[in-house]
Amino acid sequence: MKKMLLVVVALMLSISLAACGSSGSDSGKNSGTNEGTKQNNTTQGGKTEGDSSDLSGSILAVGSTALQPLVEQVSKKFMDKNPKVNILVQGGGSGTGLTQVSEGQAQIGNSDIFAEEKFTDGDAPKAKELVDHQVAVVAMAAVVNKDVTVDNLTKQQLADIFTGKVTNWKDVGGADEKITIVNRPASSGTRKTFEKYALGTKTEDLQGSIQEESSGTVKKLVGETPGAIGYLAFSYLDDSIKTLKYEGTEATEATVIDGSYPVWAYQHMYTKGEPDAATKAFLDYMVSEEVQNDKGDVVELGYIPVNKMQVKRDVDGNVTK
């Protein structure tokens, strides 16, 4: 009888201990699951670096081909960060960009010139409707085919060439070779800047000259045409063409920054009034440290950050330290 009682008690103790062990195991599992859920919710609840924003919308940026490479590259990075935003970048020249943004056909008008230089006289009120966002400085240089032996031109010599007074390289110290001008259209901000700061005069479209809207095409034609001369933004300069000195001064970032090389302009991204949220975010990103620093897109593509300039220039061309 006592033996039977001991067996029953031992059996009950075994069942109790097994139940406790099972409960402890389940409790451990539940505890781990709850903690994991809590951590997962914390990660999803707050945005971490690399998460896309809630920005959305479409942006059309039109105009300056000198500014186009920078806007295109930065826009791709911005869209990677903001996949609900679509940005389309087109050329066409500064005049086209300013006209389209003024007429509401584009969110951004890219320009090498101030809006006041485009909209004058009766159109002056249009310039006042536009908001200027200066994102970089672009410098321009006269470029020639690599067979041209001249490596420096004065302001007067350049003016004589682009106004048709000089038509042979021998008249400016070069070989006996015909000069072929590769020019930009009248709507081009690059042309206006080059005329204003390199030539000191406006020019007419000369018979026999080549006119191209795209800076890339200008570079290609100058590189392929014997005796050719044109002008390009620094961002387009490479070994396929020859860059000329201006009044004995080399066309470099350093000479632009200190003001000794005068052929440069601000790169403007105009909006009509204050921009919408997506456009504002994109413009803010254009002037962010990521884009503007010494290893950023601005420097990488041959532009100059605005904050590095040691001189300032107003719409009338007045330069101050």
Write the pLDDT tens digit of every residue in 250-270.
Answer: 999 999 999 999 999 999 999
- Check whether 5 has a pLDDT greater than 70: no
Question: Which two tokens mark 124?
Answer: 């002056």
Please report which residue ranges of the chain form alpha helices under DSSP H. 2-45, 68-81, 94-102, 115-118, 124-129, 155-162, 189-194, 215-224, 253-257, 277-286, 289-292, 297-300
Confidence band of 66 (pLDDT split at 50, 70, 90): confident
> Over the stretch 75-120, which tens digit does the pLDDT of each residue have?
999 999 999 999 999 999 899 999 999 999 999 999 999 999 999 9
CA distance 157 to 291: 38
The percentage of the chain sitting over the pLDDT mark of 70, rounded to a whole number, equals 83
Q: Which of 19-33, 130-144, 210-224 has the lowest mean pLDDT?
A: 19-33
Least confident of 7-16, 184-193, 216-225, 237-246: 7-16
Q: How confident is the model at residue 188 (pLDDT cuts 50, 70, 90)?
A: confident
210 burial (CB, 10 Å; 0-12 / 13-18 / 19+) is middle
Percent above pLDDT 90 for the chain: 75
Q: Token pair for residue 260? A: 């000794």
**CA torsion 133→136→142→147, rounded to 10°?**
-130
Task: Report, as an integer, the average pLDDT of 293-297.
Answer: 93
280-319 CB burial, b ≥16 within 10 A, e <16? ebbbebbbeeebbeeebbbbebbbbbbeebeeebeeeeee
Confidence class for position 172, pLDDT limits 50, 70, 90: very high
pLDDT of 49 > 90? The answer is: no
Which pLDDT value is given to residue 52? 52
Under a CB-based contact definition with an 8 Å cutoff, are residues 112 and 64 in contact?
yes
Confidence (pTM): 0.74
CA distances, 69 to each of 3, 199, 259 (Å)? 96, 26, 24
